[in-house]
């Protein structure tokens, strides 16, 4: 038996890179003010996964997929606790686990980018925000993340059993690069592989620099719903309604709710907000053209669900509702301290006091101006 260099520094750092990014991105997803970092790390995770797949074809021996041990997977599990068998590189279980993790890693990253577009109107798929019923990318993202996490935990358990039960040095080799083998086997980078690594690091550095640019196409907030509005009507709406409070995006409510609100402008929440007939008709037409029923957003879906609940409870007219009654509002604010809304600068109806992008109707998690 001899000591052989099996895993190069590229393999070991790449392994650590993916572990660190997935772990941090998973943690950051649960904090509003770290969510932009969650997205940032998610893109870098995708690039790392792509490089590992590329390395699986052009990398060093034992890194390539063709060098994995796929045969005997059933026998490996059947006799796992009965016999000890040492593999130079990946055993059958870890070989299949790596392939599965790479597939799930791609699914996690792509579904995350798609969900970011459909849920928050950001990134390269920002237009999906107004095609929300197309597919539930958020659910797919969560499902794929949990699947990947489950495979990772099983993979870690297998590595620990291999080390402490079978007394193999596979786990040590991932750290040091060296493994005890029957005969001397040395793995080194050739000229082409070194060039690939240099080019990858250069492109990765450029990508990281580019991602910090606010208007980058991968993560930047570049979608403006106002592009859908007729300019003169929108300006009038902002002038008249925005003179007392911020202008609510018309696609937050259905037409019946807007019509009911417009009927009572003489007593608009204790204020006389009456309009002359021409302005009234122009703003009403604007609301008819741009209400929730004419935009395929998550608000339209939530409105329907909320109105159905109200209708079933027989509490009130199921055709009208206020923004703070909607399920999307309640779910987004259910864990906040009620005392937060007692502050003069923060009211339930004053979305822009917390959401810097409220006027756009996007409500990105990372655009909160206060800490929940």
Kindly report the CATH number assigned to the domain that includes residue 103. 1.20.950.20
Q: Is the pLDDT of residue 365 over 90?
A: no
Indicate the number of domains in the chain.
Answer: 2
List, as one string, the DSSP characters of 89-130: S--HHHHHHHHHHHHHHHHHHHHHHHHHHHHH--STTGGGGG
**Cα 82–chain centre separation:** 43
Q: Does residue 348 surpass a pLDDT of 70?
A: no
Claim to verify: residue 147 and residue 290 sit in the same structural domain: no
Specify whether 102 is located in the same domain as 175.
Answer: yes
223: pLDDT confidence band, cut at 50, 70 and 90?
low
315 inside domain = yes
For the chain, what percentages of helix, strand and coil (3-state, to nearest 5) are there?
65, 5, 35
Same domain, 255 and 287: yes
Domain boundary among 211, 235, 255: 211
Do 334 and 258 fall within a single domain? yes
Residue 251 shares a structural domain with residue 337: yes
Would you say how long the chain is, in residues?
372
Q: What is the pLDDT of residues 276-299, one digit of tens each?
A: 999 999 999 999 999 999 999 989
Whether residue 66 sits in one domain with residue 162: yes
> Looking at residue 314, what is its pLDDT?
58
Q: How many CA atoms lie within 13 A of 317 on its CB side?
A: 7
Q: Considering the domain boundaries, does residue 266 fall inside one?
A: yes
199 and 230 share one domain: no
Pair (67, 187) in one structural domain: yes
Q: Which residue, 187, 211, 235, sits at the end of a domain?
A: 211
Q: Are residues 194 and 272 in the same domain?
A: no
Give the range of the structural domain holding residue 152, as residue numbers without chain letter: 2-211
Question: Of the candidates 211, 233, 267, which is a domain's last residue?
Answer: 211
Residue 256 within a domain: yes
What single string gives the DSSP state of each residue in 297-309?
Answer: SHHHHHHHHHHHH
The helix (H) or strand (E) run that includes residue 160 is helix 137-164
How far out from the chain centre does Cα 235 lie? 34
Is a pLDDT exceeding 70 seen at residue 113?
yes
Taking the C-alpha atoms of residue 225 and residue 231, their distance in angstroms, rounded to an integer, is 12
At 203, is the pLDDT very low, low, confident or very high (cuts 50, 70, 90)?
very high
- Are 294 and 203 part of one and the same domain? no
Are 162 and 174 in contact by the 8 Å Cβ rule? The answer is no
pLDDT of the residue at 48: 97
Highest mean pLDDT among 91-95, 225-229, 337-341: 91-95
Lowest mean pLDDT among 34-38, 84-88, 295-299: 84-88
In angstroms, the CA 318 to CA 307 distance is 5
Residues above pLDDT 70, as percent of the chain? 95
Report for 17-21, 86-90, 341-345: range of highest mean pLDDT: 17-21
Would residue 172 count as lying in a domain?
yes
Look up the pTM and report it.
0.88
């Amino acid at each position: 038996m001899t000591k052989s260099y099996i895993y190069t520094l590229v393999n070991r750092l790449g392994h650590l890179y993916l572990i660190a990014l997935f772990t941090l991105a998973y943690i950051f997803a649960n904090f509003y003010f770290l969510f932009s970092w969650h997205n940032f790390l998610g893109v870098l995770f995708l690039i790392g996964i792509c490089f590992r797949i590329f390395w699986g074809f052009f990398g060093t021996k034992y890194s390539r997929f063709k060098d994995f041990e796929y045969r005997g997977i059933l026998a490996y599990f059947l006799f796992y606790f009965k016999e000890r068998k040492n593999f130079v590189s990946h055993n059958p279980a870890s070989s299949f686990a790596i392939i599965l993790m790479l597939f799930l890693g791609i699914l996690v990253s792509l579904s995350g980018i798609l969900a970011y577009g459909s849920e928050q109107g950001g990134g390269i798929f920002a237009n999906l925000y107004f095609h929300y019923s197309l597919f539930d990318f958020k659910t797919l993202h969560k499902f794929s993340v949990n699947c990947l996490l489950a495979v990772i935990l099983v993979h870690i358990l297998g590595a620990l059993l291999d080390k402490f039960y079978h007394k193999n040095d596979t786990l040590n080799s991932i750290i040091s690069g060296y493994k005890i083998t029957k005969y001397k086997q040395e793995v080194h980078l050739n000229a082409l592989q070194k060039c690939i690594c240099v080019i990858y690091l250069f492109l990765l550095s450029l990508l990281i620099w580019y991602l910090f640019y606010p208007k980058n196409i991968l993560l930047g907030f570049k979608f403006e719903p106002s592009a859908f509005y007729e300019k003169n009507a929108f300006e009038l709406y902002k002038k008249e309604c925005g003179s007392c409070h911020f202008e609510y995006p018309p696609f937050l409510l259905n037409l019946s709710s807007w019509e009911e609100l417009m009927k009572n402008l003489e007593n608009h929440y204790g204020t006389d907000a009456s309009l002359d007939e021409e302005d009234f008709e122009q703003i009403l037409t604007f609301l008819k053209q741009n209400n929730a029923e004419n935009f395929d957003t998550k608000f339209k879906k939530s409105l329907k669900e909320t109105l159905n609940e109200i209708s079933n409870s027989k509490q009130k007219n199921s055709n009208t509702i206020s923004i703070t009654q909607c399920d999307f509002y309640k779910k987004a604010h259910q864990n906040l301290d009620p005392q937060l809304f007692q502050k003069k600068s923060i009211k339930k109806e004053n979305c822009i006091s917390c959401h810097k992008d409220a006027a756009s109707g996007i409500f990105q998690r990372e655009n909160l101006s206060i800490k929940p």
